[in-house]
Amino acid sequence: MKRLYRSYSESTNIFKELEAKYPNYFKIESIGNTWEKREINLITISKNIKTADSKPALFYTGTIHAREWIGHELAIEFAIYVLKNLETDPTLQTYLNESTVYMVPCANPDGYEYSRKHFSFWRKNRRQNADGTYGVDLNRNFPIGFVKSTATTSNVYGGPEPFSEPETQALRDFVLAHSNITIALDYHSQGNVFFPAHDFRHEDTIDTTDMNTLCANMAEEIRKISGREYGIHQGKPPAKLISGSGREFYYSNGIISSVVEVGTRNISDYMEDMNENIREHIPALIYALKEVDNYDKNNVMRRVNSFNATEIGSNHVNLKWDYELNEDIYFEIFRSTKDKQFCNSSNLITKTQSLEFNDINLSSNKDYYYNIRVVNKKTNQKSPFYPQIKIRTLIEYDEYSRTYFANAKGTGYVAENLNNNPSHFGVNSLFVGVDDNKGISYAVISINVKSLPANAIIKLASINLYPINRVSTTIEKYGEWNIGLVNQETMGDITNFDDVDNMQIIRYVGRPTESHQLTQGIWRNWILSGLECNDLKKSIKNDTIVLRVEGPKELRIGRTKQMMQWDIGYGSFGFGLAYRPRLELTYTIEPTTTTLYAKSIKTVSKAEVIDDVITAGFDEEGNKIYSTFQFNLSSLPPYNDTMITKAYFELNSTKIYIKDDIRFHLEFVDENINKNFEDITNREVIQNIGYDVSATELKNNQTQYFMFDTFSEIILNEKLKSKSDISFVLKPTSAVKIIKNKTVSWEVSNNSLCPKLILEHIPKRRFSVEKVTNAKLSLENGKIKISWTNPKNPDFKGAKVIKNPFRKPLSAQDGQKLYAGVDEYTLDDFGATDIDKYYAIFTYDDVPNYSQAVILEYVPK
């Protein structure tokens, strides 16, 4: 028994007192009786208790597992908080005027009291089974996915049949009688993670984005209070899914539903941990209440009819959607840089009444996630979300991108107290941290980077691990997890604990992940700094990078484990190859420098045109004197395989004597311009190159560099296509109204000082290879087979297959990745055969450039 935790009878008395004090806002009633004849309490909170059942509602259940006390305690404190603040908090008044809260604070009163008084970690109810054992796991006793079992002593024994227990019958009857319930939250412990509902078919549903976003917004409210980061994980193959839970039953009745796993222990230290867990979840629940009205079955605000990315560049994305417009509605679009992120005011990028939006000033080669919903500006009611768009912006013209996955044989974990460490490589999860059984555990990750050029300059790098389970991280805010670059010269045997323990670490990379940042179901990224990118490159040996992942190495007295589990992608514990540890690189290579000398130089004045002289300024009548330069690009490599990455123009002035306020501008102009005074005076300028220089600056520095900006470099690259001439004009200006007979000259005859156009360029394909051909769908052994024929182009590196149930994937990231490689078929191993969906096949080269998608539509027969 823990003194600060309330008994079931104490909470009943608290609720009765609240009902007496706030009769207009609060009600307690019984919805059934347990095996031991305890009443199952249901409490209702609303701005007007008499009309509560007519409003959309949040349904909360807690402590369906006896040892998970957080649900009971949170319900008590949430009710007290809301009632205490309802009359003074306008936000609560608004939410509870529009919505209702139903709470079953303790769905397992018998088991809870048994856990309090006799066996702390009792989980089931107190049914006496036919064989004399006790208990049914109430969260396995619902019908969706129910598994028949005779193992009555098991903690997950689901009972003789669905709804065999009075507790689950009471929950069923209440939910079926209250069609106004729109959101259901089932509170458990432990893990600091949300588990949204699924339908056992391993496919995203139309409301997957809704559930993920609801959970993400609740998680953000938690983070603001305590800094704690919650994971979000919907069941994915080939992981075993929980059977017969209340969450799926509620979801099967059209209710947005999630389990909420709180804290790091079933029964936490109340003052140190539980109190904080309660405090951070009250605003999270208030946020959920805010969304209740938006998921009302009678909500006239429907989600948009479609949502697509129609164009993707290196720094922009064009979005379009379809909806019937009227003056009372507008659209909110949210952008995130991680999957399963919140949608709130901090990442709301536009409110618009248009049906398209151009998002600009993005970073190249970066993942972005877009969500959209409709808002009624009069009522402020919002629609559900349309399924999320995922894109990756293109790389810049001087960049390449690589994704490297962990090598199975060189990736695994070693533990201090285990003798079979070699067997942990390629077939298991990565256990990192410390516990009583394993002792200290390290993960070793080997990544082959053979395709990375020797002259690569790494601009950006991140190491990414997928957290598969954090339930064994049981100490709040204790320890951190780091990734180190291993010095392979002194590495030893990576399957031997002592050798791994004694590895020399060149440097730790990225920011450490602290225990309160550990999540489940959301990728964890270690982003490398510039210096760390340099060391990453230096650490390569035999085309391989080796990393060591480490966590805490000591335990507090009385604690048995602080162990994190990361996915390896392989084996029975992995979620599939897409979840392997991966290294993401953006890099460029050392450029080749080509110096071009002018094909033609002229000085053009009103009076004359002089060849091979560079003079600019003003003549005796105050007319401008120009100099022109023409270069030819034919000496550069072919356009299709070359990118000009940097360009600058060099001039060297002769002795300068003038002191007047004269400035000189270098202009990029059309190469077909006539070299006469009239045409030069009326020229059309493509772009100014660099910045103007003054006569004073010329005195102090003989050499001037005019640097091309990004736009000028783009135009220069376009000129390379035709290997045409390019032209420049040197123009004088002055702030003085009239200035006469003032000129400056530049060197021409001296080869080292004459005008030069200096270009840096790299070999890089500009365009993708051809699309696949003969693409088709078929059924094979109950699975959808996608097959195609690869192009014969020698630059072809592979085909990538993406699945999306909601739209044609025009981006190679917009959906679930099924395959990437050189084969000519793949299987949708876990895909449902009774759901419409699209498959997209992209080819790619080594840049990579992706081809346009070949789209296949699957329609069940």
Q: Rounded to whole angstroms, how far apart are CA atoms 761 and 847?
A: 15
Give residue 857's identity as a one-letter amino acid code.
E
Active centre residues (catalytic)? 261
Q: Rounded to whole angstroms, how far apart are CA atoms 742 and 616?
A: 9
DSSP 272: I
The rounded radius of gyration (Å) of the Cα atoms in the chain is 34
Which residues share a beta bridge with 678?
Answer: none
Q: Say if residues 625 and 617 touch (Cβ distance below 8 Å).
A: yes
Number of H helices, E strands in the chain: 13, 46
Q: Rounded to whole angstroms, how far apart are CA atoms 38 and 31?
A: 11
Q: Say if residues 615 and 743 touch (Cβ distance below 8 Å).
A: yes
Lateral strand order in the sheet of 756-763? 592-597, 756-763, 642-652, 703-707
Q: Rounded to whole angstroms, how far apart are CA atoms 414 and 568?
A: 14
Which residues share a beta bridge with 2?
Answer: none
**Alpha-carbon torsion angle 178, 183, 188, 191, nearest 10:** 170
SS3 annotation, 115-137 = HHHCCCCCCCCCCECCCCCECCC
Q: Six-digit token pair at 515?
A: 């225990």
Q: Rounded to whole angstroms, how far apart are CA atoms 119 and 121?
A: 6
Q: Rounded to whole angstroms, how far apart are CA atoms 86 and 505?
A: 56
From 386, 371, 388, select the one nearest 304 (Cα to Cα).
Answer: 386
Which residues share a beta bridge with 796?
Answer: none
Q: What is the torsional sign of CA 159, 162, 165, 167?
A: positive
- Classify residue 419 as left (phi > 0), alpha (psi -120 to 50) or beta: alpha
Q: For residue 695, what is the enclosing H or E element?
A: helix 695-700
Q: Six-digit token pair at 538?
A: 């230096």
Q: For residue 713, what is the enclosing H or E element?
A: helix 710-721
Q: Rounded to whole angstroms, how far apart are CA atoms 114 and 52?
A: 34
- Using CA atoms, how far residue 64 sits from 69, 200, 261, in Å, is 9, 22, 12
From 386, 210, 375, select the one nearest 306 (Cα to Cα).
Answer: 386
Task: Cite the beta strand spans of 685-755 per DSSP E.
Answer: 685-694, 703-707, 725-734, 742-746
From 778, 835, 783, select the one nearest 208 (Cα to Cα).
Answer: 835
Pairing of strands 181-188, 256-261: parallel
Q: Across the chain, which distance is largest between two alpha carbons, in Å?
A: 116
386: helix, strand or coil: coil
Residues with Cβ within 8 Å of residue 765, at least 6 apart in sequence: 640, 641, 795, 845, 846, 847, 849
Question: How is 68-87 classified by DSSP, letter by letter?
Answer: -THHHHHHHHHHHHHHHHTT
Question: How is 124-185 classified by DSSP, letter by letter?
Answer: S---B-TTS-B---GGG-SSTT------TTSTT---SSTT-SHHHHHHHHHHHH-TTEEEEE
